Amino acid sequence: MTDAIELGIGAGRMDAIADNARQAERQGYDFISVGEHVFFYGPIGNGLISLAAAAGATRHIKLISTITLVPLYPPALLAKQVSTLDVISGGRFQLGVGVGGEYAKEFDAVGVPVRERGARTNEALQVLELLFSGDAVSFEGPFTRLDGVTLAPKPVQQPLPVWISGRSDAALRRCARYGTGWLPYMYTPEQLQGSLEKINRYAAEAQRQQPVKAGQFIFFCVHEERQAAVDMAVERLSKQYNQDFSKLVHKYALAGTPDDVVARLKEYVDAGARTVILNSACRGDYTTANEQLMADEVVPRIKALKP
C-alpha cells in the first residue's frame, strides 16, 4: 500500500458538474466527489448520476461518491448502477458507502424504515460483492432474494474500491469487513487515529489480510483573511446541517489562511489519512476563488509531504 497522499475535491453546482470535473482534473486533483440525498435541508442531487456526467467530461481523474446512501437502494439495482459507472468511466469509480439517517423523511419517502438502515447496508454490501465477482448468484436475506442471476457487465476494477463512512462502532466494524478504505467526516485527527486503531483490531479478529486505507472527508474555506474564511464556513455549514457551527468549525472543518489549512491538514496526515476529500464551504460567489486558492497554495504543500 502506497503512502502517497491523494486529494479530491467535491463538485459544486449540479448544473456545472462537467465543468467542475474538468477543472478539478486541470488543477491536479486525484478525485472528483459528489454526495447525495433524495430530500435534504437544501438542493442536492444524486451522486451516481452526477458522477456519470463527470466521467464523460474527463479522462483520468478518479470518481468517488461521498457518499452513496446505500440503504435507500435495492441492492441489485445499486450493483447495476455502480458497475455501469465503473465501465463507462474506464475503471475510475470508487464507491463511498453510508447509512444516512439524519433526514428521516427521505427514508419514509422510499419506503425504507430508518431503523433498518444499518442491516440493509450490510446486506447490500454482501450482495454487491457476490454480483461483482460471480455468476448465477443466489442469495436469501431479510431484504434481498436472488435466484441464479448474473450481473453483466461487471465492474472493470476487481475488486471495486469501497470506502465506508460513518461515526459509529457499527460503521467501524462494517469497514473492517467490507471496506477498501475508511472515509469518515466531521472527525478530528484524534478521532481518525482512534477509529483506525479499532478498525485494524476488528479486521484482525475477522482474519482479514488486506489493510484498510485511511481517508478523511472535510469541508474547507481558505482565504487570505482568517476571519473571513471562518465566517463563511460557519454560515454555510450552519445552514447545510441545520445547526450552529460557530463552536464546531475549527473542530470539524478547515477554515483560515492557507498556512492555517496546511497546518490542520498535516494533523490529519499525521493521524494516518492518505486520501483527503475536500469540499468547499463558503459563499457561492467565493467558491471558485476558494477552490483555486486551495489548489494553488495548499494542495502542492500537502502532496509534497513525506508521511
The pLDDT tens digits for 157-212 are: 999 999 999 999 999 999 999 999 999 999 999 999 999 999 999 999 989 888 99
Specify the CATH architecture of the domain 1-160. Answer: Alpha-Beta Barrel (3.20)
**How far, rounded to the nearest angstrom, does the alpha carbon of residue 271 sit from its chain's CA centroid?**
18
What mean pLDDT is reported for the chain?
96
Helix axes 117-133, 75-88, angle to 10 degrees: 50
Cell of 110: 422510499
Q: Taking Cα atoms as reference points, which of 215, 225, 207, 245 lies closest to residue 290?
A: 225
Residue 58 sits at the vertex; the CA angle it makes with 1 and 288, to the nearest 5 degrees, is: 95
What average pLDDT score do residues 113-133 get?
98
pLDDT tens per residue, range 207-252 = 988 899 999 999 999 999 999 999 999 999 999 888 999 999 999 9
Locate the domains of the chain by residue range. 1-160
Q: How far apart are CA 31 and CA 8, in angstroms?
A: 4
Reported as a single tens digit per residue, the pLDDT across 252-283 is: 999 999 999 999 999 999 999 999 999 999 99
Q: Please state the φ and ψ torsions of residue 156, each to the nearest 5 degrees.
A: -60, -45
Distance from C-alpha of 236 to C-alpha of 218, rounded to nearest angstrom: 14
Asked whether the predicted pLDDT for residue 2 surpasses 80, the reply is no
pLDDT value of residue 140 = 98
Percent of all residues in the chain with a pLDDT value above 70, rounded to a whole number: 99
Mention every residue, 6+ apart, whose C-beta is less than 8 A from residue 246.
234, 238
pLDDT of residue 14: 84
127, three cell numbers: 450482495
Q: How confident is the model at residue 307 (pLDDT cuts 50, 70, 90)?
A: confident
Residue with grid cell 475477522, as numbered in its chain:
206
Average pLDDT rounded to a whole number, residues 84-88? 98
In Å, what is the CA distance from 277 to each residue of 7, 149, 201, 221? 6, 35, 25, 13
Which is it for strands 213-222 and 253-256: parallel, antiparallel or unpaired?
parallel
User: Is 50 exceeded by the pLDDT of residue 1?
Assistant: no
Residues 44, 12: Cα–Cα separation, whole Å:
10
d(CA 258, CA 293): 8
Contact between residue 9 and residue 278 where contact means Cβ atoms under 8 Å apart: yes
Residue 163 burial (CB < 10 Å; 0-12/13-18/19+)? buried
Radius of gyration in angstroms for the set of CA atoms belonging to the chain, rounded to a whole number: 19
Cα 162 versus chain centre, distance = 10
- Is residue 18 pLDDT above 70, yes or no? yes
pLDDT exceeds cutoff 50 at 116: yes
State the CB neighbour count (10 A cutoff) for residue 238.
15
Query: Which helix (DSSP H) or strand (DSSP E) does residue 193 occupy?
Result: helix 189-205
